[in-house]
Amino acid sequence: MFFIFLIYLSFISLGLPDSILGSAWPLMNTDLGVPIGNAGIASIIISIGTIISSLFSYRLIRVLGTGKIVIISIAMTAIALLGFSFSPSFIWLLLCAIPLGLGAGAVDAALNRFVATHYEAKHMNWLHAFWGVGALLGPVILSVLVFWGNSWRSGYFTISLLQFALVLLLLFSLSKWKKYEDTDSNTIQYTKEINSESKMGLLNSFRRKGSAFGMVSFFLIASTEASMMLWGSSYLVRIEDIPPENAAGWISLYFIGMTAGRMLSGFLSIRINNESLIQIGCTLTVSGLLIMLLPLPIIFTLLSFIIIGMGLAPIYPSMLHQTPVYFGKHNSQAAMGIQMAFAYTGATLVAPLLGQSLATISFLIFPYFLLACVAGIMFCRLILIRSNKTGVAPKRLSQ
């Protein structure tokens, strides 16, 4: 039980830096003397690093093992965050963004594959719920420190110390990781003996029936989540005439809905399979978006943000947990890396491009765009299910 607790802590640490850049940037850009729009440059560099490390994570894990990759990756993020806290210039900050992205992508892909392979679906949902806890805690830590008279640098420094502390804890768990990896090695060898044509690799992941649709579904879910996070507040300002200072707070309803939804999905997954959870989540999300579209009092729009968050909550974790089912346990890390890369690409590209369209056309199209994304997810998953009717899930621990 202590081991899965460490994995949860690792995902909290993954969420901490994800949200702090946006919340700290109004202070950072003034201190560093750069335009406010430069946050996008840092964000893109982090995302590119994340995509690259996600794609090559399976090769690194085959050489070093999951435990060492997790420790090295979190150490990289800790060093990068420490660099952020001491950054004398924006260029230095961009240099520190490189190891931050590389570390985040590797640990994300490694832990997702590890939990998908060795644990039940409830743990995957709770894992991503703890990412939400980290994403919520990051701005809270920063706000408290700034309120006490510290600068934004103290926020990054504190989170860096928390990451270093986690690295020390994980160092004592290396033998536990090795135990699982030894089991994996035996399983992989057995799989190769009964099916000599099965080869691990990026290209082989695309040879599976319906795999392209599965990858596109990751692109769409990440695009939907990122677009809601980035433009939900602006939608309230432009369409519902809510003051900007209030809208910034109301968007937290979406995060609360998602975090609570993933906690609840963990319990539901004990009785309901992953694909059913995905369909339930899509249906709930569509319901929330329809409420957004109806000419109802503002309280219903705010309620829709909670519903959308709860609807989206089980989709991404459940899709990740299906990876060994559709791609095989022996090929799951390569497939996981590609899936994560598709997801990060969607989150990086679609939300900013959508913003340009919303500014040019109207924010009224925002819910319609999200509806189209959710419809695309449902279609892609349907094709994937029909293409893999013989998929059987590997056994997982029931801790």
Which of 164, 194, 224 finishes a domain? 194
**Each residue's pLDDT expressed in tens, for the chain with a length of 399 residues:** 778 889 999 999 888 888 788 778 878 888 999 887 788 788 889 989 999 998 888 888 888 888 999 999 999 999 999 999 999 999 999 999 999 999 999 998 889 888 888 888 889 889 988 988 888 788 888 888 988 989 999 999 999 999 999 999 999 888 888 777 665 555 544 445 334 444 555 555 566 677 889 999 999 999 999 889 888 888 888 899 988 767 767 877 888 899 899 999 999 999 999 999 999 999 999 999 999 999 999 999 999 999 999 999 999 999 999 988 887 777 777 788 889 889 989 988 888 888 888 888 999 999 999 999 999 999 999 998 888 774 444 444 444
Q: Which structural domain, as residue segments, surrounds residue 310?
A: 202-387
Within a domain: 269 = yes
- Domain shared by 16 and 146, yes or no: yes
The CA-based angle 395-311-220, given to 5 degrees, is: 80
Query: Which residues are 119's β-sheet partners?
Result: 397
The 3-state DSSP composition of the chain as helix, strand, coil percent (nearest 5) reads: 85, 0, 15
Q: Are residues 250 and 173 in the same domain?
A: no
Classify each residue of 128-161 as buried b or exposed e, where b means 16 or more C-beta atoms within 10 Å of its C-beta: bbbbbbbbbbbbebbeebbeeeeebbbbbbbbbe
Residues 152 and 103 in one domain: yes
User: Quick check: 88 and 32 in contact, CB under 8 A?
Assistant: no
Q: Is residue 190 part of a domain?
A: yes
Q: What is the pLDDT of residues 94-147, one digit of tens each?
A: 999 999 999 999 998 889 888 888 888 889 889 988 988 888 788 888 888 988
Angle at 234 between CA 228 and CA 238, to 5 degrees: 130
Residues in CB range of 183: below 8 A, 6 or more apart? none
Tens of pLDDT, residue by residue over 15-55, are 888 878 877 887 888 899 988 778 878 888 998 999 999 88
Q: What is the pTM of this model?
A: 0.79
- 310 and 177 within one domain: no
Q: Check which CATH number belongs to the domain holding 40 and give it.
A: 1.20.1250.20
Is residue 351 included in any domain, yes or no? yes
Task: Answer yes or no: is 398 within a domain.
Answer: no
Number of domains in the chain: 2
My answer on whether 352 and 209 are in the same domain is: yes
Q: Looking at the structure, do residues 156 and 48 belong to the same domain, yes or no?
A: yes
- Count Cα atoms within 13 angstroms, Cβ side, for 40: 10
